[in-house]
Amino acid sequence: MKHVSSLLRLLLYLNLSSVLARGGQRNSSSTSFSGSSRRLLDDDQFQTSADKAKGYMTNAELEEAVKAFGQRCNNISRIYSIGRSVSGFPLWVIEISDKPGVEEPEPAFKFIGNVHGDEPVGRELLMLLANWICDNHAKDPLARLIVENVHLHILPSMNPDGFALKRRGNANDIDLNRDFPDQFFPMNNHEEARQPETRAIMSWLRRIHFTASASLHGGALVANYPWDGTQDRRRYYYGCPDDETFRFLASVYSRLHYNMSLSREFQGGITNGASWYPIYGGMQDWNYIYGGCFELTLEISDNKWPNADELPTIWEYNKMSMLNLAASLVKSGVHGRIFSSDSGKPLPGSITIKGINYTVKAGRAFADYHRLLAPGKKYEVMATVPGHKSKCTSIWLEEKATTVDFILDPDVTGEENVLRSICDDCNCNGGGKPILLEFLWGFHMEVYLILILILAFLCFLLKRRMKFTLGKQRQSPKRSVMV
């Protein structure tokens, strides 16, 4: 009987081990899949749901914790909601900054936890992260760097309904990490057909220009980066245009983790998503393609739902990785602003890197850009703004960040553009005579004299035409004349 019981436990384990952390049940369309199994459940895998949730915050307790944090740390934070779940639970966000809620020429980073309802470690760790920064920003250099130079947004739970039901999907039993628009296959193209949690994330990215982000999952120990899928649904390494930069960001997390980089399954503790196993409709690829945001998928615990008494250890293993990933937005890459040479005003243009087919847009208010790049290489950086001449410069990117501001000249290529420029400068309402005179005296004297002669000649022709027209009117008073 003992052997029969052991055999049943082994069969159950083998079946559950194929349910992968990032992908859940294997997609039948993912052909040629030979993904490696991993241990997802410990000896306590047969514990009841009530026992499993013991020690974890309920949704009501999480809401109280978020609001309590907002009151305790109101000098460096604000609390807001990006929407509601299917069951109506608010999706609370904590923003941490020295000027929370104020738009600044600084990069923004977001952490998202509990995307899958049965992976709750992230929501606990994100509250620990927020409170640690609150307690230490006045004395810890890394915490102070984040508060003073980054707008950090923390969404502890994207799927509170799934957590309450203790299952992967939301209240409609939909996997939220398969509910985003996909680059390869026409799925979820109608926004109103998506889940409210998905729509909330998409609307969030339209309001805030995030530079980078990470979502926290469980069931493995690895930092995952795009692409998550392939064009033919097969499993192989499929890198995005910024593959090298993503490998760098994933390594920042893995190297500083207690043991992620020591993985025997994933070299260096990082993996390309499609190489691990392809998924479609994922949030990670959508962020990079449609949101202009570099996102990682972080598997932070071998066990999807470990005992609550393990949470302090898991937090210590991940703390420095989480802090340094957020700080990497200002500790690496190339940053700057784009200005107009004639007015000095910021120009919300775009930044491209030679050899990388990806465009980073500058912010609308301050025209600030934050271009993440792998260090130790030479890059050609180009700033482009419609109506202005593009500029390109070469930089050697060291381990530290580099600042490059661009000042672009207007692209005036014809007489019509010259006249329009004059009109724009004087506002066409008589209030800009000094600007007009400065513009005219800016020409070479020869050109100025030629313009005077041309204008005088045009006036002479106009007077002759008027005399001729008046004479014709006297001879034929019934004729209509268009002036």
CA-based diameter of the chain, in Å?
Answer: 124
- In three-state secondary structure terms, 419 is helix
Asked whether the beta carbons of 331 and 403 are under 8 A apart, the reply is no
Distance CA(388)–CA(251), nearest Å, equals 38
- The count of residues in the chain is 483
Strands, E assignment, 198-303:
212-217, 220-225, 270-272, 294-301
- In three-state secondary structure terms, 144 is helix
**Which pair of tokens denotes residue 266?**
């994933």
| Distance from chain centroid for Cα 98 | 21
Asked whether the beta carbons of 253 and 320 are under 8 A apart, the reply is no
In sequence order, what are the residues at sequence separation of 6 or more whose Cβ sits closer than 8 angstroms to the Cβ of residue 83?
Answer: 90, 91, 196, 197, 199, 200, 203
- In three-state secondary structure terms, 99 is coil
Out of 299, 316, 416, 438, which one is annotated catalytic? 299
Asked whether the beta carbons of 22 and 297 are under 8 A apart, the reply is yes
Distance CA(255)–CA(252), nearest Å, equals 6
Angle (CA) 189 193 195, round 5°:
110
Q: Edge-to-edge, what's the strand order for the sheet holding 391-397?
A: 356-361, 350-353, 377-384, 391-397
**Residue 467: how many CB atoms within 10 A of its CB?**
10
Known catalytic membership, residue 119: no
Token pair 């899958």 in the structure block, residue: 116
Asked whether the beta carbons of 336 and 405 are under 8 A apart, the reply is yes
Region class of 98: left (phi > 0), else alpha (psi between -120 and 50), else beta: alpha
Residues recognised as catalytic: 299
